[in-house]
A and B are shown apart, each in its own frame.
Chain A
């Protein structure tokens, strides 16, 4: 059963063909990695899922609904959350607030005026947010201003903000880029736990260690087209992949 279907997706920027006839189908409750050299079109592809870019032709269907032509917040309300390459967090707010806001968004929808009752430290949203912070080891920093966190902490916070919404589909753009080995391993463990809960994940990643410890399936993107799609162990040995991605070197 696939949850996300991409059919014949094309996107050009001026004369540059960023995506040409991309076809992808993401299985429900699987971790699907998209790899490829720099400039292969990975981020462009992700941007087409979340309403940041409008593809020239083709279709993106999530859970039976088209994701094209609707706004980012509507896509999120359908159950798609995204982690960015550079962490997008609420830098002026406390760490706990950062995780509570997605909670309110899930409970109250895209817009609701809830201006009379104060935000409380007790109650389901705050408690769920604290539990989520515990999962990413940020519970002791709950009262800190999020903008003052280290880069690794910011990335984990952003991941927490996405996961706390219980998304059906989680999109991750290089979730471990710039992290130390120890932090990377922690993040891998965290993502494995999330995957076990049945959250479908699409991961763009350069770090092969991350890709091979997480992915159930891998698609290789080069020059805007999917050149291979298979199980991780098969991708490792695929000569086309080695040619495009690794410049012919053996893995």
Chain B
């Protein structure tokens, strides 16, 4: 049974994903994550990681510079707000396009090398962009202060349509709906669903198969009559467009763009998200992004007072020691927790959280006899990693 070329399992996966996203405020409220600020971060970084996964998960090219495209997307979106309109739609369209163009240029050069040299090249380009944004490009990026909206921005399209924001600093709005709070989250959530759908189509398509082949054996690809570089470059550009869109959405929910968004730590974060969730799987990167943003939020909010309360059952000296030790892992030091978590995942679950889920499922579901993997009906897709 097929509809729009997609089989039943994929539709269930897609509809399930959409439902969880749209019901996010209800589903995530028991764990204290049901508020729009955090949920839209889940969605935005989910998009970032989904795109990164198309490059890293499928072709195996590990980019350490994708934050550059995120930053470019943010700057583009803020400039679109300033020059054209406070409507988020032109902003994200331009952010996606400019993210794509920027990644085409960087990808074209970086993809001349593979492996560690490719990674270093992308890292170098991203750091270059970061430093340029701080120094030479100050007229465009407003340097250290970051690019902000002002009351006397031209906003040509808004003016032409007779929209006047008066004396207050405008915030982005979609035809009158203010992009803060829940509407802001739902805007990002719908984008995440669209991006997930595109990613799903790519994963199941012949193009996706070619990208896996790039990861598997480029030599054989060449001798099979396939030109590997345009395939890798296309994947690079698609992931750059996803990153640009994510950057644009960051600006939509908070119209301000700073260079720190381009720093290498931000590039590293998306690598962590993808690997933590499971590189090369469809859902993994989104889950990884959610887990990291969730922990960032929880652990960085802890302070010594909360810790003292948590260990108040202990004798005073012991309490003091415990607070001292655990305070290293929370607040500003929450990255230490993240690092520990990441190490545990890489050592014990190289396939990420998705592999963990698969292992748990295998404990409960006995394999069919003979088990040659899928072995389903003739209509199942050839590879089906959810």
Contacts and interface: CB of A to CB of B under 8 A. Distances in A.
Interface of A: 50, 71-73, 76-77, 81-82, 84, 88-94, 96-97, 100-102, 104-106, 108-122, 126, 141, 143-145, 161, 165
A50 B225 CA distance: 11
Interface stretch (B72-80, B138-146, B368-376): B368-376
Given A71-B222, A76-B224, A118-B6, 20 more contacts: A73-B222, A73-B228, A76-B223, A82-B223, A88-B217, A89-B220, A90-B213, A93-B209, A94-B383, A96-B382, A101-B209, A106-B225, A112-B207, A113-B207, A113-B234, A115-B206, A118-B10, A143-B373, A144-B373, A165-B225
A111 B230 contact: yes
B225 A114 contact: no
B216 A93 contact: yes
A81 B223 contact: yes
A89 B373 contact: no
Given A104-B209, A106-B225, A119 B372 contact: no
Given A89-B217, A90-B217, A92-B215, A119 B205 contact: yes
B378 interface: yes
A92 to B, nearest CB: 4
B326 interface: no
A71 B222 CA distance: 8
Given A92-B215, A144-B373, A97 B205 contact: no
A105 B5 CA distance: 22
B373 A119 contact: no
Nearest to A129: B382
A93 B213 contact: yes
A72 B223 contact: yes
Contacts of B210: 101, 104
Nearest to A104: B206
B208 to A, nearest CB: 7
Interchain residue pairs A-B with the least CB separation, the first 5: A76-B225, A118-B204, A115-B207, A90-B216, A110-B227
B205 A92 contact: no
A110 B219 CA distance: 14
A100 B222 CA distance: 15
Given A94-B382, A96-B382, A106-B225, A115 B209 contact: no
Interface residues on B, range: 35 or more
A117 B374 contact: no
B204 to A, nearest CB: 4
A97 B222 CA distance: 16
B201 A97 contact: no
B152 interface: no
A114 B375 contact: no
A143 to B, nearest CB: 5
Nearest to A142: B372
A143 B213 CA distance: 16
A89 B223 CA distance: 11
Given A93-B212, A94-B373, A121-B379, A114 B222 contact: no
A100 B382 contact: yes
B217 A111 contact: no
A119 B381 contact: yes
Contact of A121 (B206, B215, B217, B382): B382
Most chain B CB atoms below 10 A, which of A81, A113, A141, A161: A113
A118 B201 contact: yes
B379 A115 contact: no
Contacts of A76: 222-225
A121 B209 contact: no
B372 A141 contact: yes
B226 A118 contact: no
A60 to B, nearest CB: 16
Nearest to A167: B225
